[in-house]
Amino acid sequence: MGRIFERFEALRRNDEKALVTYIAAGDPSLEATAALIRTLEAAGADLIELGLAFSDPLADGPTIQAASQRALAAGANTDNVLAMVAQVRRAGATVPLLIMTYYNLLMRPGVAEFCRRAAEAGFDGLIIPDVPMEEAGELLAATTAAGLDLVQFVAPTSTPDRVRRASQLATGFVYCVSLTGVTGERTALPPRFRELVQETKRHTETPVCVGFGISQPEQVREVCQIADGVIVGSAIVRLCGEGGTVEELTGRVGAYVSNLKAATK
């Protein structure tokens, strides 16, 4: 089993829940992203999603869309992000890393080639929100061959049968979308997410993590009462967009993530 499985097993033994963090690779620069990976790991992030910028990100709200545009303007692309991650791994980072992106970026080099290169660089899994499980055969074969986990989504609009099938298909973790709509910070979480988590857990032993709308320690505590982990993205990306030196950036992100991680215990 890989790093993602091992991390969730360690968390279970310690009676903790996972903090999954998201940053846009290349925002504000690849050098800053490398520093942020180290900072997030030191601050307690259990898994890190790196968003590969795409010009038409259907699941992303305004904050992450803006970060993707900044990353593209700074020159981020698949090749230099993979090279950066390989360098971070060589420097000793052990935190599980996942690519979050869209299918077009996999089709350009070929799905199998993309997955092979991602695994060689040091990634552990993929999150591809625009590939429904009914059309994921090629992607499933490629991730399995490369030793990558493939996260599956369930949402408030998912039928019971779809929740069952996605839960059984997922590896790494099941991404439980807390609300309808796109990513972004919310002041409160809809109560429906609890039912969705419970329904998902009926069908799988794979960890279930809740994302979309979560930004406050109180929300993290609420989610961790029922789920195996919580995913926080837009709030961290917003901090990345506030400017300043790399030291200032990593300082404010590290402090914020440390507070979130404390709420998972």
Catalytic residues: 49, 60
Query: How far apart, in whole angstroms, are the C-alpha atoms of residue 84 and residue 209?
Result: 27
Query: How far apart, in whole angstroms, are the C-alpha atoms of residue 20 and residue 257?
Result: 10
Residue 83: enclosing H or E segment and its boundaries? helix 78-90
Q: Which two tokens stand for residue 32?
A: 């800053």
What sign for the dihedral angle of Cα 226, 227, 228, 230?
negative
Strand partners, 154: 176
Residue 17: enclosing H or E segment and its boundaries? none
What are the φ/ψ torsions at residue 86 (nearest 5 degrees)?
Answer: -60, -40
Whether 225 and 208 have beta carbons less than 8 Å apart is answered as: no
Query: How far apart, in whole angstroms, are the C-alpha atoms of residue 169 and residue 167?
Result: 6
